[in-house]
A = this chain, B = another copy of it.
Amino acid sequence: MLERGRTLATPVLRAAVDRLAPPMDTVAAYHFGWIDAEGRPAHGDSGKAVRPALALLSAEAAGRAPEVGIPGAVAVELVHNFSLLHDDLMDGDEQRRHRDTVWKVYGPEQAILVGDALFALANEILLELGTVEAGRATRRLTTATRKLIDGQAQDIAYEHRERVTVEECLEMEGNKTGALLACAVSIGAVLGGADDHTADTLEAYGYHLGLAFQAVDDLLGIWGDPEATGKQTWSDLRQRKKSLPVVAALDAGGSASERLAEILAADAKLSDAQLADFDEEEFASRAMLIEEAGGREWTSQEARRQHATAIAALDRVDMPAEVRAQLVALADFVVVRKR
Binding site for B on A (CB under 8 A): 20-24, 82, 86, 89-90, 108-109, 112-113, 115-117, 119-121, 123-124, 127-128, 130, 132, 134-135, 138-139, 142-143, 145-146, 149-150, 152-154, 156-157
Contact = CB atoms under 8 A, between A and B. Distances in A.
Contact of A120 (B24, B127, B145): B145
Query: What does DSSP make chain A's interface, helix, strand, loop or mixed?
Result: helix
Contacts of A135: 127, 130, 132, 134-135, 138
Contacts of A115: 116
A133 to B, nearest CB: 10
Contacts of A20: 150
Given A109-B90, A112-B89, A128-B139, A153 B119 contact: no
A109 B146 contact: no
Contacts of A89: 112
Contact of A146 (B120, B130, B145): B120
Contact of A153 (B113, B128, B145): B113
Given A109-B90, A132-B132, A153 B123 contact: no
A45 to B, nearest CB: 25
Contacts of A150: 20-21, 24, 117
B23 A113 contact: no
Contacts of A112: 86, 89-90, 112
Given A128-B139, A135-B134, A138-B138, A149 B117 contact: yes
Contact of A90 (B113, B119, B154): B113
A55 B250 CA distance: 52
Contacts of A82: 116
A137 to B, nearest CB: 10
A134 B139 CA distance: 11
B21 A113 contact: no
Given A89-B112, A90-B112, 17 more contacts: A21-B154, A23-B153, A24-B149, A24-B153, A82-B116, A86-B112, A86-B113, A90-B109, A90-B113, A116-B116, A120-B142, A123-B138, A127-B139, A128-B139, A130-B135, A132-B132, A135-B138
25 contacts: A24-B149, A24-B150, A82-B116, A86-B112, A86-B113, A86-B116, A89-B112, A90-B112, A113-B149, A116-B116, A116-B119, A116-B149, A117-B149, A117-B150, A119-B120, A120-B146, A120-B149, A123-B138, A123-B142, A124-B142, A127-B135, A127-B139, A128-B139, A132-B132, A135-B135
A128 to B, nearest CB: 7
A150 B139 CA distance: 24
B109 A156 contact: yes
B113 A152 contact: yes
Contacts of A132: 132, 135
A24 B147 CA distance: 13
A146 B134 contact: no
A90 B139 CA distance: 29
